Amino acid sequence: MKPIALPDSPYLLLTPGPLTTTASIKHKMMADACTWDDDYNNVVQQIRARLVRLATPQSGYTSVLMQGSGTASVESVIGSVIPGQGKLVVVANGVYGQRIAQIASYLRIPHHLLDAGETAGPDLAALEQLLASDPAITHVAVVHCETTTGMLNPIEAVGKIVKDAGKIFIVDAMSSFGGIEMDMDQLQIDFLISSANKCIQGVPGFGFIIAKRSRMEEIKGRARSLSLDLYDQWKCMEEHNGKWRFTSPTHVVRAFAQALNELDAEGGIAARAGRYRNNHRVLVNGMRRLGFQTLLRGSQMSPIITSFYSPAHPDYRFQRFYSLLKQRGFVIYPGKVSNADCFRIGNIGNIHPADIERLLAAIGQSCYWEHKASTVAATGT
Ligand SMILES: *Cc1c(COP(=O)(O)O)cnc(C)c1O
């Protein structure tokens, strides 16, 4: 049979997952694999070991892969690690933090929600007080990069408070792991959660959890769901050379192994983080030149995704702006902040500063509310 060429992508995804992936990653999905064959399970084992090495140089850590979108992995952790008598604190400042509290509500896990709103950092003094005042608390969860706004949360400071109080620390590092340098041992993270289609630049289909081995040993029998039982999934992978309990996303897994190769080839997380920072810098400077303002101050922003205020002009409509950009080969993200009108642009994926320069030119041509109708007439919208 003749090899089939990959279809052309109609646009670059400037969304933080799924994101623009390389042709070589997509190509890896064009073969089928058997879920109980050693060759496939060896790929899984290598992925697990490599994830641990990316998370920390220290020993004593392990990883588990879990089917589903990133939220399934968050739900797996929340539902599997907190004992029947346990209590969770969720430190939130956006949709993804609130989602952790929502998961706890669904699972009827007692919890406190410390919500700072969407444009402020976590209230560390309030966290310290809460931990001191309620001895029933066992676990604290926080989001690292809050993708709602692009805010980077101070997980080092949060972790110190959590550990001084002797609690277990859970971090949703979904949109930062692989794109921002961190050592989970130094940050005292017990359970770190991320997924295939964020900064490792794979395709969607599974998430992963990196945890202290000793913590994993403690959680047997706590799960509130069969298919999201973190301990059981881990035990199966440990005892059966990387075997998943139920059908694994084989194509996605093979693509992810290639994505890890490409992360190494780029120079590891430090080099990737440098590229993302460059993308972000070029984007923010260029957007400011075009008259756009960022939602967050410089020190709050992550190099992952950036929120910009929508133009105040009465003729501006996100949908029209989006369509004009899509016709020019770029897809951006609507805003997710409840109290400010914004749109978002992601910097992650197989995106380079030259792509951002082209994007800026396209945005300059798509500001239809500023231009005479003729300059954007070609669009037909
Ligand atoms: C992407 C993301 C998730 C998971 O979202 P899914 O749509 O379930 O993949 C969770 N938390 C954060 C911070 C994210 O960016």
Expressed in angstroms and rounded, the spacing between residue 197 Cα and the centre of ligand 1 is 9
Q: Is residue 341 within 8 Å of residue 370, measured between CB atoms? A: no
Ligand 1 atom showing the smallest separation from residue 173 Cα: 13
pLDDT of residue 378: 45
Ligand 1 atom showing the smallest separation from residue 147 Cα: 15
Q: Is residue 152 within 8 Å of residue 277, measured between CB atoms? A: no
pLDDT along the chain (381 residues), means of 10: 75 93 96 94 98 98 98 98 98 98 98 96 98 98 97 98 98 98 98 98 98 98 98 98 97 98 98 98 98 94 96 95 97 90 96 98 95 49 41
Phi first, then psi: what are they for 236, rounded to 5°?
A: -65, -45
Q: Is residue 175 within 8 Å of residue 17, measured between CB atoms? A: yes
Ligand 1 atom showing the smallest separation from residue 175 Cα: 15
CA nearest 328: which of 3, 2, 12, 116?
12
CA–CA separation, 112 and 80 (whole Å):
18
Helices (H), 194-249: 213-218, 230-239
pLDDT of residue 372: 53
Residue 371 Cα distances to 195, 328, 367, 374, angstroms: 41, 17, 7, 8
AA identity, residue 292: F
Residue 242 Cα distances to 66, 175, 206, 258, angstroms: 12, 25, 14, 17
Burial of 85 (0-12, 13-18, 19+ CB in 10 A): exposed
Is the pTM for the entire model greater than 0.75? yes
Expressed in angstroms and rounded, the spacing between residue 70 Cα and the centre of ligand 1 is 5
pLDDT digits (tens, 9 = 90+) for 30-69: 999 999 899 999 999 999 999 999 999 999 999 999 999 9
**How do 342-346 and 168-172 pair as beta strands?**
unpaired
The contacts of residue 125 (CB under 8 Å, 6+ apart) are none
AA identity, residue 299: S
Phi first, then psi: what are they for 155, rounded to 5°?
A: -70, -20
The secondary structure element, H or E, covering residue 269 is helix 268-289
Burial of 370 (0-12, 13-18, 19+ CB in 10 A): middle
pLDDT digits (tens, 9 = 90+) for 81-108: 999 999 999 999 999 999 999 999 999 9
Give how far the C-alpha of residue 262 lies from the chain's centroid of Cα atoms, to the nearest Å.
18
Cross-strand partners of 61: 212
The residue whose CA is least distant from atom 5 of ligand 1 is: 70
pLDDT of residue 224: 98
Expressed in angstroms and rounded, the spacing between residue 328 Cα and the centre of ligand 1 is 27
Please list, residue by residue across 110-144, b when 16 or more beta carbons sit within 10 angstroms of its beta carbon and e when fewer do.
ebbbbbbebbebbbbeebeebbeeeeebbbbbbbb
Per the listing, tokens 């989001």 go with: 143
Ligand 1 pocket test, candidate residues 90, 100, 174, 307, most atoms within 8 A of CB: 174
CA nearest 335: which of 310, 311, 317, 302?
310
pLDDT of residue 377: 44
Expressed in angstroms and rounded, the spacing between residue 174 Cα and the centre of ligand 1 is 6
Ligand 1 atom showing the smallest separation from residue 94 Cα: 13
Residue ranges around ligand 1 (CB below 6 Å): 17, 69-71, 74, 96, 143, 147, 172, 174-175, 195
CA–CA separation, 23 and 30 (whole Å):
11
